Amino acid sequence: MLLALTIVAAAGLFAGHGLRSAEAQSSAVAPSASAAPPVLEDATLPAPSATVAETPSPTPSLAADQLRLAGAVPSHGSGRFAYAMTRSPVLGAGGPLRRFRVAVEQGSNEDVTAFAEQVVATLGDPRSWTGDGGLRLQMVAGSDPADFTVLLATRDTAGLLCEQGGTNIRINGVPYTSCRTTGKAIINLDRWRLSAKPYFYAKIPLATYRQYVINHEVGHELGHHHEDCPAAGGPAPVMVQQTLTARGCRPYPWPRQGTRFLTGRPL
């Protein structure tokens, strides 16, 4: 269910700069050179139970081989989202064009520019959904019309947004996974910082898990559903719920391998 959202101007300047890949092997993508402030969107959620600092700490840096980030992860934020205000080039060589926005919850201590860079670098990789020339994607500014939004939210906000969209992401009472609701790919901050057991135990870097969770949730928005592992020991299709289990496959973050999409039996 779409939430009623109000966009207001945010104070402070937002400097657009080049978008880079989360992995060394991913190709870099550059946004437009224009700079603009982010906008804030009210998620119309219940007020959080603790005050969010007005000046969040910088986004934690991530080493290439790091498995998870140290330190406490904010469990809740303000329920308001800052939107990236740069536009990326069109990603993909052909097919219908779908535009998306990128936003980060205030109080998550994550930078919307850095998150937008990783989203665009992932979706623009030839191993992602645009790689076969059948689909084009483009990140647009927060004030622009868009087909969907990629959100990074604290676990409490993610839990509420997903529940309002009809999806329960809780395990043992705690919002654990990410989800897609109509028009929204919602990334759980806990998983963004801490990864998930199949990746962590296989010693796969957090940067790679991040590519997986972006591709998986955006895949839902593109109409794809959960799938099974097609061959034990082989790479898992990206629509396998790899946050929970690779179902006998090995974790793999991309929709495509070589010249083909990886698919499994629908679940």
pLDDT digits (tens, 9 = 90+) for 42-95: 554 433 332 233 334 456 678 999 999 999 999 999 999 999 999 999 999 999
- The structure tokens 């437009």 sit at 32
Q: Domains in the chain: how many in total?
A: 1
Whether 254 maps to a domain, the answer reads no
State the pLDDT at residue 38.
Answer: 52
pTM: 0.81
Q: Label residues 16-46 b or e (16+ Cβ within 10 Å = b).
A: beebbbbbeebeebebeeeebbbbbbebebe
Domain around 151: 7-195+218-223
Tell me what the mean pLDDT of segment 7-22 comes to. 35
Whether 212 maps to a domain, the answer reads no
Q: Which residue has the higher pLDDT, 32 or 162?
A: 162
pLDDT at 19 over 80: no
Whether 267 maps to a domain, the answer reads no
Whether 237 maps to a domain, the answer reads no
| Average pLDDT of the chain to the nearest whole number | 84
State the pLDDT at residue 52.
Answer: 31
pLDDT digits (tens, 9 = 90+) for 99-108: 999 999 999 9
Whether 42 maps to a domain, the answer reads yes
Whether 205 maps to a domain, the answer reads no
Whether 257 maps to a domain, the answer reads no
Whether 188 maps to a domain, the answer reads yes
Long-range (24+ apart) CB contacts under 8 A made by 228-234 are 228/264, 228/265, 228/266, 228/267, 229/264, 230/262, 230/263, 230/264, 230/265
